[in-house]
Amino acid sequence: MKIALFAGDGIGPEIMAEARRVLDALDLPGLVLFEGDVGGAAWRAHGHPLPPETLEMARAADAVLFGAVGDPECDSLERRLRPEQAILGLRRELDLFANLRPATMFEGLEDLSALRPEIARTIDLLIVRELNGDVYFGEKGTRTLPDGRRQGHDLMSYAEDEVRRIAHVAFRAAQGRKGRLTSVDKANVLETSQLWRDVVIDVAAGYPDVALTHLYVDNAAMQLVRDPGQFDVMVTGNLFGDILSDQASMCVGSIGLLASAALGAGRTRFGTRGLYEPIHGSAPDIAGRGIANPMAMILSLAMLLRHSLGREADARRIERAVARALADGVKAADLGGSADTRAIGDAVLARL
């Protein structure tokens, strides 16, 4: 099995080092690891955020473990050269359209949630975010109007097959959980969302065992902090899913805790091909200080083992080790603790 490791920018290499130590500790047979450059680091070394050799490495791999990209010094580059194009390009080129972003409460963190403990305790949800369409990938540009004003535009659109395939992923996920699915859209205003809703309702006919409800995204954002326990699986488009998942992270306690899997139709010998990454970014404000929380990265490795390598037992071992470390009070600065990145890696390894 081939795994590509792309650490990226900012805290990416710092948290990747800890995930790597966990992976090494498992001592899995027949594993081949590759390292590749992505993001601002790749732009500096090769003049492009997603160099052809990196893309080839990803294509050849059964799974990609991805740190984070983003570098303030690159924010004024033309868009196609910016670090973020590395992750957008990988998702798109590998056709990884289904993004699973689980948010579950950890024992001992109830008081660190942005919500009241009795509300935080109820969180056990999965956001299924469409990852290859929406306003992210529509026609975009900036033009000058006849009267001299500049105008930016980004086209929002979904084709029905794009909605259908993510809806199937979400319904199947709900079947494997509590059987409840909430589709989030803005069908009261957006045509894109009306089509989304119509297709989701259509797909629902094949899943009579799943209870489907619909929420407008503004209400969904409110409900997520009012009563997150009402949600089992949430399915939504690229932009809404991006925003709601960062919000969900603070309900759990920190963005440094949330992992993700980006999956497509491709198969490995033991599962699904995929790319795995924390939901957070390169955190330039704390990069280089060794204080980032590597738990989201380590939990992303667990998702890789589960979905791409078929190693459920190892995935659970890692998840339990992280949960135990948290229950024992091992916390990085994002959770108000004093453990540094390495110490958290040590704590997880000790409990593995």
Residue 284 assigned to a binding site = yes
- Write the burial class of residue 146 (CB in 10 Å: 0-12 exposed, 13-18 middle, 19+ buried): exposed
Point out which span in 46-54, 81-89, 297-305, 311-319 binds ligand IPM (CB under 6 A): 81-89
Q: Smallest gap, in angstroms, from Cβ of residue 249 to ligand IPM?
A: 10
CB of 322 to ligand NAD, least distance (A): 13
Give the single-character DSSP code of 51.
Answer: -
Applying CB under 6 A, the site for ligand IPM has a residue count of 6
- For residue 245, give both structure tokens: 């998942």
Q: Does 286 bind ligand NAD (CB under 6 A)?
A: yes
Residue choice 1, 87, 105, 299 for contact with ligand NAD (CB under 6 A): 87
Question: Per CB under 6 A, which region of 148-156, 174-182, 276-284, 311-319 contacts ligand NAD?
Answer: 276-284
For 279, list phi and psi in degrees, rounded to 5: -80, -15
Return the SS3 of 75.
Answer: coil
Partner whose footprint covers residue 292, from Mn ion, ligand IPM, ligand NAD, none (CB < 5 to 8 Å by kind): ligand NAD
How far apart are CB 238 and ligand IPM at their closest, in Å? Answer: 7
Secondary structure element (H or E) that encloses residue 273, with its range: strand 272-278
Tokens 């395939």 belong to which residue?
Answer: 165
Q: Give one DSSP letter per residue of 318-349, joined into a string.
A: HHHHHHHHHHTT---GGGT----HHHHHHHHH
Active centre residues (catalytic): 136, 186, 218, 242, 246
Q: Output the six-digit token pair for 23.
A: 């992976």
Q: Is 285 annotated as a binding residue?
A: yes
The amino acid at 186: K
CA distance 108 to 105: 9
The yes or no reply on residue 242 touching Mn ion (CB under 5 A) is yes
The reply on whether position 303 binds ligand NAD by CB under 6 A is no
Of the pair 26, 250, the CB lying nearest Mn ion is at 250
Q: Is 87 in the site for ligand IPM (CB under 6 A)?
A: yes
Q: Which is nearer to ligand NAD, 16 or 292 (CB)?
A: 292
Residue 315: partners with Cβ closer than 8 Å, 6 or more residues away: 302, 303, 305, 306
Quick one: tokens of 42?
Answer: 């790749």
Q: What does 48 interact with, of ligand IPM, Mn ion, ligand NAD, none (CB < 5 to 8 A by kind)? A: none
Closest contact distance (angstroms) between CB of 260 and ligand NAD is: 9
CB of 76 to ligand NAD, least distance (A): 12
Q: Does 71 bind ligand IPM (CB under 6 A)?
A: no
Residues between 224 and 243 that touch ligand IPM (CB under 6 A):
242
Residue 241: enclosing H or E segment and its boundaries? helix 238-252
Q: Is the dihedral of CA 41, 277, 308, 322 positive or negative?
A: positive
Residue found by looking up tokens 């919500």 in the block: 115
Residue 108 binds to ligand NAD (criterion: CB under 6 A)? no
Token digits of residue 327: 């229950």
Measured at CB, which residue is nearest to ligand IPM?
84
The stretch among 83-91, 161-169, 308-316, 341-349 that binds ligand IPM (CB under 6 A) is: 83-91
Q: Are 56 and 3 in contact (CB under 8 A)?
A: no
Query: Is the separation of the CB atoms in 84 and 77 below 8 Å?
Result: no
Q: Is 281 annotated as a binding residue?
A: yes
Adjacency order of strands within the sheet including 259-267: 32-35, 2-8, 63-68, 272-278, 259-267, 98-104, 124-130, 233-236, 180-185, 211-216
Which residues fall in the annotated binding site for NAD(+)? 281-293
Residues that bind Mn ion (CB under 5 A): 242
Binding site residues, ligand IPM, CB under 6 A: 84, 87-88, 242, 279, 281
- Binding site for Mg(2+): residue ranges? 218, 242, 246
Residues near ligand NAD (CB under 6 A) are: 11, 68-70, 84, 87, 255-256, 277, 280-286, 292-293, 296, 332, 334
